[in-house]
Structure 1
Amino acid sequence: MHRNDVCWCGSGLKYKRCHLDFDERIAGIKFDPKMGQIKPPHEIIKNEKDIEGIIKSGKVNNATLDLIAKNIKAGIDTLTLNDMAHNFIIENGGIPACLNYAGYPKSICISINNVVCHGIPSKNTILRDGDIVNVDITTILDGYFADASRMFMIGNVSDEAKKLVEVTRQCMELGINAAKPWHFLGDVGAAIEKHAHTNKYSVVTALGGHGVGKKFHEEPFVSHVGEKNTGMLLVPGMVLTVEPMINAGTFDVFTDEDDGWTVYTKDGELSAQWEKTILITETGNKVLAD
């Protein structure tokens, strides 16, 4: 690309005033294939317009999770929560990204106790005192995606369950803190894995985070285990989710054969998950959806 060409990022600016220095910095990095180090593809780098779009989508997504937080309680069925979220997203100009995604039948995911993720809301699934619940919501607004999930503790939750929920939140935050520009993606997984194992928990490896923004799932896959200085280079303009799934028992999971979606812990032990969408910036990162 020539200096005076329009930049590849879609900003409309000339290359020399946009991503020329960025590309030159990447070109100056010596990647170690033995460490699995790779450079990020141009197509996953977001411009200012993209970032603004994701932020707006994130605001609707956050407000939807806030609405769930005000209404989730013992005795409520998960389909009622699903419909509440669906209607709120639609009323605010958005689209529930989960609905009909690869055949998924509902608008949000609600995962209870030993359900790791992708729990399908149902009129027959009633929240009970002592449950721990993950509510995972992704919103599309004007073509941009924002993705986040929160844990909720229903009524009188055991100390064991409370600790798992809190340590999982800490794992997410440590992973986010490790997501720094010009460092590598493996740093994120390494931070999460260390904290989980220190607390005698396991990290689900079959599933992970992902790039997000213009599509529901983009590169890179964000593993929540790993080694520092491995994997894809993190650079300004990347948007991704950090969403560790932490189990009280083994990391092994299985998917329900009947519905094809609900993922359970293999040993029946509790699981927890928190998720935020973050933007890699010049100085660190910024949360766009939580």
Structure 2
Amino acid sequence: MKKLHTPFIIPRAVYSMIVLAVALAVATPCRAQSSSSFGSAIENYFLNWFPRVTQIQSEQPHWVTPLVTVTPRLEEEVRYDQLFESSKNGVATDNFGNGKGIELIPFEATEIIIGIPPFLKRNMPRNTDGFGDWPFLVKVRLLSSNEEHDNYIVTAFMGFSVPTGSNVNGNGHALFTPTLAAGKGFGDFSVQSTVGVTFPNGGHDTLDRLGMPVAFNTAFQYRICKYFWPEFETNYTWQSYGGDTGHSTLYLTPGILIGRIPIHDRVGLTFGAGYQVAVTYHEKYNHNVILTARIPF
């Protein structure tokens, strides 16, 4: 008899609990203000935003965010990425945005990333251009120490995406990705790494189609002359469920980032480029040119 697997389905009640938890979390810093009224508490919350962020970031290392690997550090910035993917069968895909957007630190040890749905444009087949799903990410910093002390950080992520994409470019179901990230610095050299698994919200057919991929990314960086960060990344994915169970994909990504270049007060500029190459038989694409631009603030 064929073994049945319990589908990963998010009940409506859980969605309601998530919304309620987020609302309570956002309201907590406001209640903590020593103010006589709710209105002045909100005003003080936003007036103290940048001093609060400066204090939070002073308690962690000040490395630069890698090209592909999501940094365990908490950042405030606006980010745009541009990808140029090419496959062996001649299909070329231009990815505008790559789901990046605005990153904010609303309160202690927490970052929220509000992505922008990427726009995908292909040379073939025709009429497959369109937007992907809408991504979000929440980071909670667990442990950290800046460069003047032990120079490390440990952070937990919860990523999720809303299925707003077109039939070709979206997944058709919400995705949830819990991740553990960590980093360690040794002088000008640093290592940042993440491991996470993606769960689709759906029944057996969804699990068979999307699977539950496990992603393991690691970035090695070395700072030169304050602003130059050459790096080398390994981007590995293993399919733990579905039609591609057991298949693995490994990309190697050399690149360089330049930043953070001061512009005015807290505002800066970071940009970079890299070249991603597949070294395994199973692959989503063969190679990929990555461009990135960030405005940290």
Quickly name the TM-score band, shorter chain normalised: under 0.3
Higher relative contact order (CA 8 A, sep 6+): 1
Scaled by the length of structure 2, what TM-score is found? 0.27
Structure possessing the higher radius of gyration over alpha carbons = 2
Scaled by the length of structure 1, what TM-score is found? 0.28
Give the number of the structure whose residues are more often strand, by fraction: 2
